[in-house]
Amino acid sequence: MSDGTGTEASALVAWSALAEPDDPLALGIVAALGATEALAWVRSCAGSGVLLSPPALDRKQRDALVGALPRWVARLPEADPRALRERADLLGARLVTRGGRGWPPALDRLGAAAPFALWIRGELDPAASWSRSIALVGARAATAYGEHVAGAIAAEAAARGIAVISGGAYGIDAAAHRATLACVGAPIAVLAGGVDRLYPAGNTRMLEQVVACGAVVSEQPPGRAPMRHRFLSRNRLIAAASATIVVEAAARSGALNTARHASELARPVGAVPGPVTSGASAGCHALIRAGAAVLVTGPGEALELAAPLGEVDEPAAVGSDGRTDFGSAQERAAHAGIGARGSTTDAIARAAGLTGGQAQAALGGLSLRGLVELRDGRWHRLSP
């Protein structure tokens, strides 16, 4: 069931075992030399016992590699592509590499920070599902309110054929996965450890159901334990969903890290408000107050953010009273944010309380409907 048997693909598999996902030097040398040449250099240095000078790198870059090389060399015994593919086959897992067959195009938004490889357990095809998905994230110590809202959004997403992505944890993650399973939807759990290390242990049965009905995915090779820094780097994969909704999060919740990743990827971010007296929702309130997330009060508003243009929203039309009916709340806000003499995309985003990505998507929809046009770098309203 494994994939990625070419030379470059095999080198990417090896690099997924050599380096941690947040290792900037590993990402840099693979981007500069290619996975095959970079791996050959590490092996040559290990064999000779000296730091050889890699081609195509300047002195400053070579100096930076001095500190990184020992940690990569130490993991070479774990980085045999053939053994890793065999391990995937034994687990019944698929192994896909950057840009290869079965690779989710949505992860290409991560650029050089995209995973070297993915291990996938389950019959769901993440390559298609990730491109039409919603990430639901939030507190492990969730309230009944937070779990109810997460379940409602997940159930509606499942009913509309939108994949639900989360991290497999207690609280909001589990509520999202369970509701998706109950509605026979498409659940995707992105783990911080190997796909053979279903974590947390208390959610093992649920995650086994995700394997049976959806997919459990990791950028970590089998056997790797979930660790704090791996949770944080894992979050960027969840954030590559079509939209991220922070359902319930305290002021220092890890879910805010996922929201930041989504914003950096120009993906829409929504946040569900809670009682102003509830510390469990303080992080959501902070996102909304800072304009970093759109206010989400129910499943419909969440899915407006997640659906590609035209899939969920009805086209804008002129009503019988002569007023324009917009396809979504974001389109209405973007249209209202255009100044009398036209406005740039950034100015519209600020005026409308949208992220740059949300404003671009809304303006694109308005343009297709003939309600706005771009002239000399500024958007202008048109009469319907």
Which domain covers residue 284, as residue numbers?
A: 105-306
The predicted structure's pLDDT at residue 327: 67
Higher-confidence residue of 319 and 201: namely 201
Is residue 86 situated within a structural domain?
no
Residue given tokens 């497999």 in the structure block: 168
Question: What is the average pLDDT across 144-161?
Answer: 95
State the pTM of this model. Answer: 0.78
- Token pair for 158: 């499942």
Is residue 281 situated within a structural domain?
yes
Residues 354 and 231 in one domain: no
Residues 189 and 243 in one domain: yes
> Per mean pLDDT, which range of 88-97, 109-118, 291-300, 374-383 is the poorest?
374-383
The predicted structure's pLDDT at residue 134: 97
Is residue 96 situated within a structural domain?
no
Task: Say how far apart CA 49 and CA 15 lie, in whole Å.
Answer: 20
* Confidence tier at 28 by pLDDT (50, 70, 90): confident
* Confidence tier at 64 by pLDDT (50, 70, 90): confident
Mean pLDDT of the chain: 87
CA proximity to 180, closest of 163, 204, 200, 202: 163
Task: For residue 77, count other CB atoms closer than 10 A to its CB.
Answer: 9
The predicted structure's pLDDT at residue 274: 97
Higher-confidence residue of 316 and 186: namely 186
Residues 181 and 113 in one domain: yes
Number of domains in the chain: 3
The predicted structure's pLDDT at residue 376: 78
Indicate the residue among 306, 339, 373 that finishes a domain.
306
> Per mean pLDDT, which range of 22-26, 140-144, 303-307, 340-344 is the poorest?
340-344
